Amino acid sequence: MATSEYTTPQAALYDRIAADLSLRPAQVARTVSLFLEDATVPFIARYRKEATGNLDEEQIRQLAERHKYYQDLEQRRVTVMTTIAEQGKLTEALRQQIMTCFDKAELEDLYLPYRPKRQTRASLAIERGLEPLARWLWEQEPGAQSIEDMAATLVDPDKGIPGVAEALSGAGHIIAEWIAETAELRKMLRTMMLTEGLVRATVVSGKQDEKTKFQDYYDFREPVASIPSHRILAILRGTREGLLSMTIDIEAIKALAIVQQHVIRQPDTVFVPYLQAYCEDAYHRLLLPSLQNEVRRALKEHADAEAIAVFQDNLRNLLMAPPLGTFGVLGIDPGLRTGCKLAVVDDTGKYLEHATIYPLPPREDVDGAEQVLRDLVERHRIRAMAVGNGTGSRETETFVRRFLDKHALQDLLCVVVNEAGASVYSASRLARQEFPNLDVTVRGAISIAHRLQDPLAELVKIDPKSIGVGQYQHDVEQKLLRRSLGETVESCVNRVGVDVNTASAELLQYVSGLNLRQANNLVEYRNAYGRFANRQAFLQVSGLGEKTFQQAAGFLRIKDGDNLLDSTAVHPETYGVVERMAGSLAVSVADLVSNAELVVHLDLQQFVDDQVGLYTLQDIREELLKPGRDPRQQFVAPRFRADVTTLTDLQEGMVLEGVVSNVTNFGAFVDIGVHQDGLVHISELSQRYIRDPRDVVQVGQVVQVKVLGVDIALQRISLSMKAVRSPAAPPPEARQRPARPARRKRKKPTAPPAEPVVQPEPDMAEKLRALQARFRGSGRT
């Protein structure tokens, strides 16, 4: 571990975090200091690169998580030591163990013997005065008395100890609890369960013949160390629904041998049979169930983290989907019996007009629908039609395309838009505030139009969980999910930047440093005094002080304002640097911006000072070359086949164009325009081996797929991407990701060796009576 240059009490903590994340302690210390000043992650990542050593957002969030983990651990450490000290049991050796423990599970192991607990068999035995006998057996030092004689001295029917067997049984319960609370032993068995254990799922008795989506898990086993997160979440869901039972198994003989080796120090004494019985009791009754629960929780936490990461990645790709831009759009919410709801928005997104047409069965008023469309197109500057992908979308899309061809309107785009969550938005309080006099279906059509214009600006109005681009999002820890998805939205919004003169409060609240109250204040100020002319005007808004201005200003853009730099990602605190750059070339700032010939000749080194380093100067140079550049890609619309609108139209071997609607750990779902997404299993994504589908595809990507099979009864479509690619040509990467360490191909799990059948444990007193009979008269003491 690198030695920290800091001498504060936090130095050891910074060293540990640095070692965990392969960073330098100086990076950790400076980044943490920014957190403590309430700086946001987007602000730190963009405008404090010199302090962090150019850490990206993901690294900064990981650092923040580790820092919080150790802060929570320290608080728990204080609680543990205080509680033990109050009991008068905090020895120096135990204090050292606690102080040098940096794992929450191990800290709880150390605390377990001292944790206040409800009455147990052991505590009841202690109340009856059997602890001296347990201590004597535990020490394994034979004396003048036999085991029976020693136990007989504690027989007292009035205390519920009628005989020797009951005394030995009670002492055994005390010893079993000592064994189960031994931190070192728990750690060994926990490690064994994590590395060698098996997750086993079986169908609940009486449910064997039921056909359910959990059939693959009716008799299932897979190593704990390698089971994918989606299978854990599926098994847990099946368990909650009463169809499956789940256990985590380890080799009982090996585990019991570890326990006995830890407890029995002298294998040739008369204590051995008793201690072996106590070890079995401790293992089966206390240790195994406790560790199974711990590992089950650990698997659930890991599965939650992976599922949330998948959701975050998909949401990020959806939010960062290419926008159509500032064009008038006609949004169409398809419908059969109730008709298709139309809503027109202008190039700024302002709602203009709505109508309803009935081109589909049962009314099939095609002529009337065409007349309405033609009237709207002629009266408004419509450049695109956005068709929601709900019920009737393919039929509506076909009608619209025929209309465009018939009237020679090929310049007008027709795009099918993912409308997931639109119904949730249209019935929300926010939608009622935005469009109080409109029906929910019209609000839905407006939302569909806005999604085509700018997906990010519209989707921030919807709870990310309602968008449906994750796996098992309702099964994961909801508080963590909400926080993680909020961070994803915040990251996307700040990466793109926000036009402060057009953005809604719902979008503005995700800007670095702002909350919903401050965002509303910005909108109210804009409504009262007109558009913002420069960034300094933000300081006139109620609730926006210098600190908030510092965090938010660089992400709030002003087009056609007083200062050209206000439309860029250059922070106001470095405007002076840009002016010095322009002065060094004897030109104005306006002449420097977008002038590549001038910008590339800047010698950045001459502008380095105590406040601004090369990282910031390089960012400024990139921004001067492409001021206010939108990082999102060019808009591309998928084109579905007109003759394929339902599952029955699909045929094996068809090659179709579609758009990726969701990516999970086991593959990608692709919308091919038949109201049911098809699955491209991970094995069908690429000619080469991949372990993460997100290395190849992302939500919103337009792809070519081949139909492998269609199950109409189960509404399942099997697709392949690798089948339409040339084996010689490597598949195009959807995005660049950091190189990952090579991993050996995992073998399919095989059935483990048969384990010995463990009979139900007899009563402890009964077992000890048998031991006494076995050794009575043998002469052994």
Alpha carbon distance 24, 18 (integer Å): 5
Q: What ranges in 497-574 are assigned the alpha helix state H? A: 505-508, 516-529, 546-552
SS3 of residue 704 by DSSP: strand
**Is 449 in contact with 386 (CB distance < 8 Å)?**
yes
Q: Name the fold adopted by 128-314.
A: Tex N-terminal region-like (1.10.3500)
Backbone angles phi, psi at 545, to 5 degrees: -95, -170
Give me the architecture of the 328-453 domain, per CATH: 2-Layer Sandwich (3.30)
What is the DSSP secondary structure assignment for residue 309, as one 8-state letter?
H
Alpha carbon distance 669, 469 (integer Å): 10
Quote the tokens at residue 544: 């926006």
pLDDT at residue 766, as a whole number: 54
The single-letter code of the amino acid at 226 is S
pLDDT at residue 773, as a whole number: 45
Q: Residues 234, 216, 240, CA angle at the centre, nearest 5°?
A: 35
- Strand order of the sheet with strand 413-417? 351-357, 340-345, 328-333, 382-388, 413-417
Q: Model pTM?
A: 0.79
pLDDT at residue 572, as a whole number: 97
pLDDT at residue 384, as a whole number: 94
Kindly list the domain boundaries of the chain, sorted by start residue. 11-114, 128-314, 328-453, 637-750
Alpha carbon distance 531, 537 (integer Å): 10
Quote the tokens at residue 463: 């709870």
* Low-confidence stretches of the chain (pLDDT beneath 70): 1-9, 468, 726-781
pLDDT at residue 733, as a whole number: 40
CATH top-level class of 11-114: mainly alpha
What is the DSSP secondary structure assignment for residue 283, as one 8-state letter?
I
CATH code of the domain occupying 637-750: 2.40.50.140
